[in-house]
Amino acid sequence: MQKIIFDTDIGVDDAFALAYAAKSMDILGVTTVFGNVPVEQAVSNARLFSQKIGLDVPIYRGSSRPLALAPSAPAWDVHGADGLGGVFDNPWNGAADNAIHFIINSVRAHPDELTLVAIGPLTNIALAINQAPDIVPQIKQLVIMGGAFGTLGNSGNVTPFAEFNIWKDPHAADQVLNSALPVVVLPLDVTHRVRVSGDDIRALRHPVLEAISRSYLQYSLEKEGVEGMALHDTLTIAWLNHPSWFGITESPVRVVTDGISRGQTLRQLNSVASCDDPFAGCRVQKLCLSVEAEKVKKHFLDTLRR
């Protein structure tokens, strides 16, 4: 199994991704970050959900706010009153050891073996590589759910230009995507194409996933006009399991950090010379812009039935 650290602002689709990862990955720890919920809630959600699914891994507390921006509101309307659909009493508090230290120490302990899976804002990752730049060449890869590049009209889900995770901390995202880290990006271009229905979820006979998904399914129907919830964060684990099911485009990526398009992800579309090239010196990253959606969905459902 691949060794991963699972970095999350745990909401409903994050929980689905964690359940999938628990069946197919060696999870060294779960690090939390603000985003869908405040970081204190993310810690308690990660503890509660891990307990519910029988996952015994350490939980760590990470960043509570963006690098440079004022904090913005959590996504209560999408993920429910507590980020997990508001269906369970949660006895856990938000106390936990430091996530940034855990990331740094884990990479040093497992050089060239450890994949970071980041499905929330990239603040923890930015802080880790800022505090310990020596870990960058020791990280096997960073796989993120974030961004949108316009394929099939997928340009944003929190503004017309920006995807939520990147929009929450665009400065961290721009820094991470332009570091020496090898990054694989799973943007809305592919995550919107893999959806599960209420019937799909009920057929899993997984009471916890069924319970937390109800509000998310209702939101998808009422606000997006779509039957079924997009798996979004789950596609990071799908890519690790079956990268051949994704179409990859390689390009440097920049993130707009202010103005009306704050949080927009931009890729290099041509190599025309420019006197002010924003991609000059940027690392080429892997962007997933197409997906064999039915294969991904089937593997996800089959894995959770095991």
> Which of 206, 232, 242, 299 is the catalytic position?
232
Predicted local confidence at residue 273, as pLDDT: 65
Question: Is the pLDDT confidence value at 78 over 80?
Answer: yes
- Its domain, for residue 150, covers 3-305
Predicted local confidence at residue 259, as pLDDT: 97
Higher-pLDDT residue of 225 and 167 is: 167
Predicted local confidence at residue 204, as pLDDT: 96
> What is the count of structural domains for the chain?
1
Q: What phi, psi does 245 have (nearest 5°)?
A: -85, 0
CB 59 within 8 A of CB 43: yes
Q: What is the mean pLDDT of residues 19-24?
A: 98
pLDDT 10s digits, 124-147 = 999 999 999 999 999 999 999 999
Helix or strand (DSSP H, E) at 176: helix 170-177
pLDDT 10s digits, 199-251 = 999 999 999 999 999 999 998 888 778 889 999 999 999 999 999 999 999 99
Predicted local confidence at residue 18, as pLDDT: 98
**If pLDDT is split at 50, 70 and 90, which confidence band does 157 have?**
very high
CB 209 within 8 A of CB 19: yes
Predicted local confidence at residue 111, as pLDDT: 98
Q: In CATH, what number is assigned to the domain containing residue 243?
A: 3.90.245.10
Q: What is the pTM of this model?
A: 0.97
**SS3 label, residue 229:** strand
Please indicate whether residue 232 is annotated as part of the active site.
yes
pLDDT 10s digits, 249-282 = 999 999 999 999 999 999 998 877 667 888 988 9
What is the residue-wise DSSP string for 76-93? HHHH-TTSSTT-S-----
Higher-pLDDT residue of 17 and 223 is: 17
Predicted local confidence at residue 276, as pLDDT: 84
